[in-house]
Structure formats: C-alpha cells, structure tokens
Amino acid sequence: MLEAYDGVFGKGGDDDDNEHRSSRGDGRRRRGRRKVAMQRHVAYEGRTPEDVETLRMERMREARAALGTAAGDFDPDDFRRDSGGKRSKKKKRSRDSSSRGGGGGSGVERLMEGCSTLEWHAYHFPNCNEIHEIDLRGAVRRQLRHDEGGGEGSSHSRYHELPWGFVGNGLWRDVFSCDPRGEAPGNASTPRPPAVLKVMKSEHTYDHRNFERHRRDALVMERLSSSHHLVSIYGYCANTVLTEAISHTLDDVIYARENEEVAKWSPRSGYVTRPPLESWMAKDEDGEPLATRETELGRIRLALGVFRGLKDLHEGDGAGNMEWLPIVHADLQAKQYLVDSLTGKIYLNDFNRCRFLTRKDSTKSGNGTGIPTSRTLESCPLYIPTAPGSARSPEEYDMAPLSEKLDIFSAGNILYGIITGNRPWSDERGKHIRAAIQKGERPTVNDTIRNAAGTVDAELTRLLDRVYEHDPTKRASAREVVLELESLLERELRRKSSMKTEDLA
C-alpha cells in the first residue's frame, strides 16, 4: 500500500516539497495526485468509488450522531472539513443597507450619544483551563458504549435522562453532555450527566461579534447566579460555555401531544416521535405531572416559570448591590426555557442574542443606598438591526426604538401555547405573520375560553391581551404579570384545598 502512494508522490526531499508549496498551480496538481492516490487505494481494496462514497456517507451519519457538526467531513475534491457532506462554501455576513443607521451586521455595537454602559457590562470571567481539562472524548465514548449496548430499560423510560456525549444542536452551537470533574461514573444516584458543554459550530466565524455574543451569554448567567429561574453557569472560554445539565425544553412540555404524533428531526436519531409526557415527567402527590399544560394549576405554573425568569432578567437579582438596567433576551421562544423532568422547575436559557440596555447620562437617582437600580435608572432605547423569524414584537419588525418590553410580547407567544396547546400562527407563513403583527393582528383564542368568566383560562387570556399590547409603553411588565399569576395560583390552591376538605367531610 505504501508503494502505491510513493509511486504517485515520489520520495523527494524537503527542498522538493518547498518548491511545490511555492506555486498555486503545483498545489492544485498535488490535490489531483492525491485524488488519484485515493482511487488507487480504493482499487487496491477491491471497492468501486461508488461503494466508497456509500460507506463514507454511512460513516458520516454515525459520526454526526456522536459529534454533531464537529464530525466535519472529508471531500477529496477540496480536502476541507464541513458540516454537511457537500463542498463547503465560505459564508459572507451581509450588511443590510436598510438596517438602522446602516450598521447592518457590524461586529461592534455603537453607543448612542448621551448614553453610557454600566461598569459590569464590560466584565469578563473566562476560566479556560477548566474548560480545556474536560474529557469530552470520554463522554462521547460513554455514549457510544451505551448505544452499542442498547442501554437499560425501554426507550420511554430512558427519555427523561440526558444522553452522554452529543445531545443536539441549534443554529449556533453543538451541545455535549459531560462530567467535568468525574463525579458521575459509578454513582447510581446520578442518572444523568452533571453538565453540558455548548460549543460554537465550526461553520460560524471566529470574530469579535461572536466572541462578544458568547461573553454576554456567560456574563448574564454569572451576574444572575443567585436567581432560581436561570440556568447556572460553571465555566466559559471564548465561544464555549459550560452550564448545568437540564433534560428538556418547555417546548417538549407545551407541545407534548404534538411531539407524540408528529416525527421531529433529531441530530442523534433522525426523524422520531417522542414518548408520552407521563413516561418521563415526575409526578406530584396527586399523580399529576410536575410540569404540564393539561391542568389549570399546571398552566398557571408554566406561565409563572416563563415570567419569573424574565422578571429576574429585567430587574436583576433583587439584592440591590449593583447598578442594574434590564437585560433584553431578544430571542424568547418556548425552546429557550429548560424544564427539569425530576422537579418540574423551569429555567431561562441561551442569552447569546441578548442586549444590555444603556443608561441615560442625565440619570441622577438612586434606591436610598446610593446604588441606582432598574426602577430608578432611565435607559436609552435599543436598536437591533435585524428581526428574523415570527416570534418578534411589532416594534422589532417596524425597526423602531426598543426596550425590554419586546421580550414581554415574545413571551406572549409562549403563553398562547400554554393556554391553547397550539403554536401561534401555525397556519401562516413567515412574511404574512410579520405583516399581520405589524397591523395589530394577534393569534386568536377560542371565544369559549375567553368568555368563561372567572376560570383560570379566562384570566390567562386577559393577561395574554396585556402582554400582546401593540404599544410597548402600555404593555405589562414581567413583574406585573408575575404578581397577577401568583395571585391566581394562590386563589386556585385555596379552592383546591377547600374542595379536598369538603370531600373528607
């Protein structure tokens, strides 16, 4: 076999190699020779090029199931790694001339005149050594051993457990579950990995813009580490972040019945349906799933989980020990909330599109301790140059000045799903949805639900109208929604307790 390669490349010395490298033409010829060498290698093995291509695609599917886009690819025509088996093409980020101020996709956000950032907005706390020490290879191998052995128990009983190694991916990052400090192996009381490592996909550019996105993502979790409603951070380095492992998204809970019937794409398993919610969500003392939209109390608790996380993001940790202005998530969807299947608790996640509101330099008020807070500081308007998707607020689509109230509108889409069990605008296409929202149209709630005075769903629908308010200055705040939901929950718990007492009597 080695002789076949030597016959193509020759056995020239370093001087010959240096001479070849100096010419682009010679470089192309070398690639052609390597391709010929590969074909000779194939012939030597007795396989046709078509057989090798089939084998390559099969191996690629296996690699992606274990590594996500980190599996890459190998194309003999250009010897480049990509994420899809096709020849990789260099992506160019467009600079939209219609964007606010002509900034387009600029990597540096400009500060408006008369506005300034808070001191902590520039903080940066990487712990790269700990990130680099993670045995990701061990996690992937553990996953492969588990898959080859078939695992333990049924697929439904295992669904509540986060898989080891490659978990899945989104638009920006591949997610790997791991055990950074070797705490889980051999511990029967730890059915799932303790952490997940989110790594930016190799298809994205390593530039200032993306480094800044992930710095903000990590900083939000660090600043709000005292919150019980945001995911906890364990480490961060460049475009990679290490957080606690939580098994499911809110999307899995709200649309559980849809997911049971309709096969959805999974990077690890292809198109699959999901097992019933009852098979993986823990139960309360009455035998009801801890997180569900199929009971009145369940719907209230899901809505509270959504808006409590948002309240902390907008108002800070409540300790009043640092200056605070709202953090705008700017990408709220049900899949951005994680749900712990063992406790039913909901956590806000994924802050790599977030924005920090800046303060007006004329602000001169405090909270009595000399530390200005979100209730006393006046913020400058925010400008985001793009509004992709169908989950945005009308002011985002209008390219108008923005505030944290854009998150409230987007959270309304989640609340709509909690109330109805349907996805908002499910029968419409993106461009029509955008136009409808700009005109003041909203997803409709059945009149039977809306007009059932005094019921939980009627109260939730009334709140939905407040968060769907077109004018952001009149739109409810996260705090206001949380207070109303807590009052509604207390009322329903009293009613339930009273009914139990009557039954016992």
Q: Write out the chain's pLDDT in tens, 505 residues.
A: 334 334 433 444 455 555 545 555 666 777 777 666 665 555 546 677 787 788 777 777 777 766 776 666 544 444 344 434 444 454 554 444 334 443 334 445 678 889 999 999 999 999 999 999 988 887 777 766 665 555 544 444 444 456 778 888 888 898 988 888 877 655 444 557 889 999 998 888 889 999 999 999 999 999 999 999 999 999 999 999 999 999 899 999 999 999 888 887 676 667 788 889 999 999 998 899 999 999 999 999 999 999 999 999 999 977 666 789 999 999 999 999 999 999 999 999 999 999 999 999 876 555 555 555 555 689 999 999 889 888 999 999 999 999 999 999 999 999 999 999 999 988 887 789 999 999 999 999 999 999 998 899 999 999 999 999 999 999 999 999 999 999 999 999 999 888 877 777 6
Quick check: is 288 in a domain?
Answer: yes
The CA radius of gyration of the chain, in Å to the nearest whole number, is 27
Verify that 177 and 291 share a domain, yes or no: yes
Verify that 330 and 463 share a domain, yes or no: yes
**Rounded distance, CA 489 to CA 483, Å?**
10
How close are the terminal C-alpha atoms of the chain, in Å? 88
Verify that 328 and 225 share a domain, yes or no: yes
Verify that 167 and 311 share a domain, yes or no: yes
Per-residue model confidence (pLDDT) at position 78: 43
Verify that 116 and 6 share a domain, yes or no: no
Quick check: is 228 in a domain?
Answer: yes
Number of structural domains in the chain: 2
Per-residue model confidence (pLDDT) at position 3: 43
List residues bridging with 272 in a β-sheet. 264
Q: How far is CA 402 from CA 325, 357, 382, 392, in A?
A: 14, 9, 5, 12
Quick check: is 328 in a domain?
Answer: yes
**Rounded distance, CA 120 to CA 435, Å?**
38
List residues bridging with 266 in a β-sheet. 270
Pairing of strands 248-249, 233-237: unpaired
Quick check: is 383 in a domain?
Answer: yes
Verify that 18 and 167 share a domain, yes or no: no
Q: What is the DSSP letter of 289?
A: B
Per-residue model confidence (pLDDT) at position 251: 96
Quick check: is 64 in a domain?
Answer: no
Instruction: Give residues with Cβ within 8 angstroms of 435, minimum separation 6.
Output: none
Instruction: Give residues with Cβ within 8 angstroms of 469, minimum separation 6.
Output: 409, 475, 476
User: Are 211 and 238 contacting, i.e. CB atoms less than 8 angstroms apart?
Assistant: yes
Verify that 330 and 457 share a domain, yes or no: yes
Quick check: is 78 in a domain?
Answer: no
User: Are 319 and 338 contacting, i.e. CB atoms less than 8 angstroms apart?
Assistant: no
Final residue before a domain boundary, out of 29, 46, 63: 46
CATH of the domain at 216: 1.10.510.10
Per-residue model confidence (pLDDT) at position 8: 36
Verify that 152 and 14 share a domain, yes or no: no
Instruction: Give residues with Cβ within 8 angstroms of 144, minimum separation 6.
Output: 66, 165
Structure tokens at 279: 């098979």
Quick check: is 312 in a domain?
Answer: yes
Per-residue model confidence (pLDDT) at position 374: 54
Verify that 154 and 251 share a domain, yes or no: yes
**Rounded distance, CA 133 to CA 232, Å?**
20
Structure tokens at 237: 């380095």
Q: What is the DSSP letter of 119?
A: G
Verify that 33 and 116 share a domain, yes or no: no
Quick check: is 65 in a domain?
Answer: no
151: left (phi over 0), alpha (psi -120 to 50) or beta: left
Where in the sequence is the domain holding 33, given as residue range(s)? 1-46
